[in-house]
Amino acid sequence: MDRGASLKIHILGIAGTFMGGIAQLAKAMGVTVSGSDQAVYPPMSSQLSKAGIEVMEADSLDFLQQTPDAVVIGNALSRGHQAVEAVLNAQQVYTSGPQWLADHILKDRWVVAVAGTHGKTSTASMVAWILEDAGLNPGFLIGGVPENFGVSARLGDAPFFVVEADEYDTAFFDKRSKFVHYHPRTCVLNNLEFDHADIFDSLAAIQKQFHHLLRTVPGNGLIIMPNDEPALDDVVAQGCWSQIQQQGDGGEWSASLKQQDAGVFEVFYQKQSQGVVNWPMTGAHNVRNALSAIAAAVHCGVPPHLAVASLSTFKGIRRRMTLVGRVNDIAVYDDFAHHPTAIATSLAGMCAKIQQSHQPTGRLIAVFEPRSNTMRLGVHRHTLPKAFTCADAVFGFIDPAWQWQLNIDQFKCPVTLADNYDKLYESLIKFCQPDDQVIFMSNGSFGGLHQRLIKGLKQKYPSSLSKEFYE
């Protein structure tokens, strides 16, 4: 594909997973790509470096001297940012990431879009892997790194392109949700809860955006959704012009667990068995994600039994309950969970896995960093304690100015808070003991604290067996 060979773009906010994915896709098309950002860290820094994409300092204006054909502006940047103001003052052509993606890639593709409050990354990764395993070489742009691919974005071959469809706003100049730009033919709706309190006033406001998404699905397209999500039912009730398939008990697609931790389950379509998935994932939430992914792949033409078989070789997603390392039988995990529902499902999945193993185990220690705008606004202060029901101990990195939002007395287990990473590390290294399962949960890098804990445990137990699984 060489249609982009004569183009030159600069991306403001290139280090985000979405914008970094745009950069890699554009580079693969032959576009000359540069970018700038204030915080660039793995895995995106590694992917950009491998792609040969130059990254400038966030406030650098040197890119304007390179006369780009367009500046692609990420939604994290707003008026007042030095580079944004320079782009506007120079009357430089600019656009958003979702619009650039739609104009230059998606318009020629069969788009599979995965939307919802939770499970977008996992479900989109599953769809991409099923299509890949079927020999279809799909393109994709996913908000994480599927272990089967090792990258978050790939151009792939026509016709199929899988995109994680985020409801967050597009840019400072376009307040529609990102996903209204994608025009999917296959649309997965995982679930819907109130989130992103910094831009949405209510659940109804989010539902309105989801209905805008439904309005873009063609009549010969397919909407895949669970049959037990009232908030999504309300969206459909506002008007739907496409076929719908439901998953869950009583839906077209359903599953029967063969193991408590959901590591083995049988898949049914219209009550007829399509095969058994045996995979390393845990939790009933991932079974739901799998059913949606299978239904989406089947809509793309993959035979059901092959779609089911493919998931047995699905390796998961980096930072979705990823085992970082094990020292003296203390296991350290990294997880992206940052919403009460996601925290609860991650911990419940680990609890089920522990019970399924029938082996002696220590405590389940949850270490969390409430850094999302919604969490910081205190929206989830009443539901957050219940999310940690499965934990034996909770450690949190939190700004003292809003510790009051945590309702500490509502937690069922001991809670230790720290206002800097050093204090949190010292508390953890003293607390951890053999057979503990330690889960770090954050939508950021957590200051590399999980890796620091591994190194500290090696020093604490110098003669123990240890293994690091990823950097």
In the chain, pLDDT over 90 holds for what percent of residues? 53
> Residue 354 above 50 pLDDT?
yes
pTM for the full predicted model: 0.78
> Residue 140 above 90 pLDDT?
yes
Higher pLDDT, 292 or 147: 292
Phi, psi torsion values for 137, nearest 5 degrees: 45, 60
322-468 shares the fold of 8-96: no
> Residue 233 above 90 pLDDT?
yes
> Residue 41 above 80 pLDDT?
no
> Has domain 322-468 been given CATH number 3.40.50.300?
no
Q: pLDDT tens-digit profile of 261-286?
A: 678 999 999 999 999 999 988 888 89
Across 38-47, 58-67, 251-260, 376-385, least confident range: 376-385
Q: pLDDT tens-digit profile of 215-230?
A: 999 999 999 999 999 9
Max CA distance (Å), the chain: 65
> Residue 331 above 50 pLDDT?
yes
Q: pLDDT tens-digit profile of 62-115?
A: 999 999 999 999 999 999 999 999 999 999 999 999 999 999 999 999 999 999
For residue 115, the model assigns a pLDDT of 97
Identify the architecture of domain 105-318 in CATH: 3-Layer(aba) Sandwich (3.40)
Domain ranges of the chain: 8-96, 105-318, 322-468
For residue 443, the model assigns a pLDDT of 74
For residue 362, the model assigns a pLDDT of 77
For residue 471, the model assigns a pLDDT of 44
8-96: what CATH class?
alpha beta
**Separation CA 118–CA 336 (nearest Å):** 11
Q: pLDDT tens-digit profile of 180-218?
A: 999 999 999 999 988 766 788 899 999 999 999 999 999
Q: pLDDT tens-digit profile of 284-317?
A: 889 999 999 999 999 999 999 999 999 999 998 8
Q: pLDDT tens-digit profile of 367-420?
A: 988 766 555 555 556 677 888 888 888 888 876 655 556 667 777 888 888 888
